Chains A and B, each alone.
Chain A
Amino acid sequence: MAEIALRDVRKTFGRGRDAVTALDGCTFTVPDGEFVTLLGPSGCGKTTALDLVAGFTASTAGRVTVGGREVTRPGPERAVVFQDSALFPWLRVEDNIAFGIRMAGRPAREIRERVDRLLERVGLTEFRRRYPAELSGGMRQRVSLARVLALDSAVLLMDEPFGALDAQTRGLMQEFLTGIWERDRRTVLFVTHDLDEAVFLADRVLVMTARPGRIKQELQVDLPRPRAPDIMATPRFHALRDEIRRLVRDEAIRTMRPLATERGAS
């Protein structure tokens, strides 16, 4: 069981007059083995929520649990893929992928075999001796994916992993990720502000409110699997996307409103 659960979570950065409350009363669940996307306007607290689950930061109030256990620190049972790949620039592709397996102290032969398999799986076998700086953005994200797949984590946390890629590459990466997930069925929490991406990938979409963020609405995505990009042309996909678009639009407008009133007051 690797269910992610946030119960009434608040997260405040800073103190006193500079304090920013990023999350307040944030409650949601990612059921074991589900692919859930977290969608919301930028600055609403998506990264904050993901960092709490990863164990990078601690909540100000409320409970964050994974598999029923309180999250206290980062660890290989909760793998993270960052927006701009946070690969080690001084390690070659193969050593970046091997990093986590080495940390786990596996024997050298097993490491080599697993790295070989993962390289093949992400299609980077011929680039194994390259450094990250020598790869394209899409290739770097495939390495990021491979290095967390190597951990065999029950939970996968992804923070706008394809946000910095061009539209074509992003589409291919979404397809690629869906393929991988449909084989493994890990618990995934995937942060994005891209509507199509949120619907295409998810079993369930969580729409967040403007800051301080909580869950505004939860939508089941009842599209069939396995999914291919042509599903985006179906009426059901459009209906879901349009419904979510309205929800997100309301929140985006609310983020802008303080600007208008501030200007009026001064």
Chain B
Amino acid sequence: MLWQLSVSAGLVRAELLPGPGEVSATLLDLVFANSGAAGRYSGDWPEHATASLIRVYAGFALAVAAAVPVGIGIGSSRTFERVVDPTIQLLRNIPITGFVPIAIVLFGLGDRPAIYLIALAAFFPTVVNTSYGVRQIDQRIVRSALMMGAGPFQRLVRVILPAALPAIFTGLRLSMGVAWVLVVVAEFIGVRSGLGYLLFDAYQFFAPHVMLATMFSIGLLGFVSDRLILLIRLRVLAWNRLGTLRG
């Protein structure tokens, strides 16, 4: 509303900040090639979105596959924590964009540096939340499992994992958010596909309506990804919802 009003009232120059109407038309044309509003980008969106989605989900999957076991290790073993945690805390405090040159040097151009950058950035929120989730498990619950005859493996799978799951899901949501931020940064450099590339290209060729439409679509995909995690969480953690609502 505010946006449309300021554009109509001439507060912002229309050629710099296109109104919502123009941006939606551009987005529709980017996706469906139906009006030509996106100019030479018309119908390009599906291809770029697919490239970004693959990078985001591949990076996210790699990150989670590493972060959950490492987080459980840190949360349940003092020795493991002492060895691994300082490294993680150090890496965590280097801005992820600082890893871009190294990723390109190591992995060359194309999909791989982008996926590894996303994986690296998405690793931290899940590892930190998982280790926190494991550390705050009620000792009496672990003791009840031992007292009922659970071995090390059963303790892990039937107690530690489910007990830490609410915290793990918090980590997953944050990681997914970070993955979408990183995909844009990663696609500015070294690739010729993806929504980040589209954004950067539209910037270089001065197509603000395409930039805005692309930004908006990235936000939308990020939002949908988050909802997806929430939906899974709702199914997996039915007990947790009950606990917080009623008890």
Instruction: Give me the interface of A with B, judged by CB distance under 8 Å.
Output: 54, 56, 73-76, 78-80, 82, 84, 86-91, 99-100, 103-104, 131, 133-134, 147-148, 151
Contact = CB atoms under 8 A, between A and B. Distances in A.
Contacts of A91: 239
B243 A100 contact: no
B246 A76 contact: no
Given A86-B141, A86-B144, A134-B246, A75 B149 contact: yes
Contact of A133 (B154, B159, B246): B246
B135 to A, nearest CB: 17
Interface residues of B, number: 25
Contact of B148 (A56, A89, A131, A147): A147
Nearest to B165: A90
A92 B165 CA distance: 17
B21 interface: no
Interface SS of chain A: loop
A264 B242 CA distance: 53
Contacts of A86: 138, 140-141, 143-144
Given A86-B140, A88-B162, A131-B243, 18 more contacts: A75-B146, A79-B147, A80-B143, A86-B138, A86-B141, A86-B144, A87-B144, A88-B145, A88-B163, A89-B243, A90-B163, A103-B151, A133-B239, A133-B243, A133-B246, A134-B242, A151-B148, A151-B149
Interface of B: 138, 140-141, 143-151, 154, 158-159, 162-163, 165, 237, 239-240, 242-243, 246-247
Contact of A100 (B140, B149, B239, B247): B149
A76 B243 contact: no
Given A88-B141, A88-B162, A76 B240 contact: no
A103 B243 contact: no
Contacts of A90: 162-163, 165, 237, 239-240
A87 B239 CA distance: 13
A78 B147 contact: yes
Given A75-B149, A103-B149, A134-B246, A82 B144 contact: yes
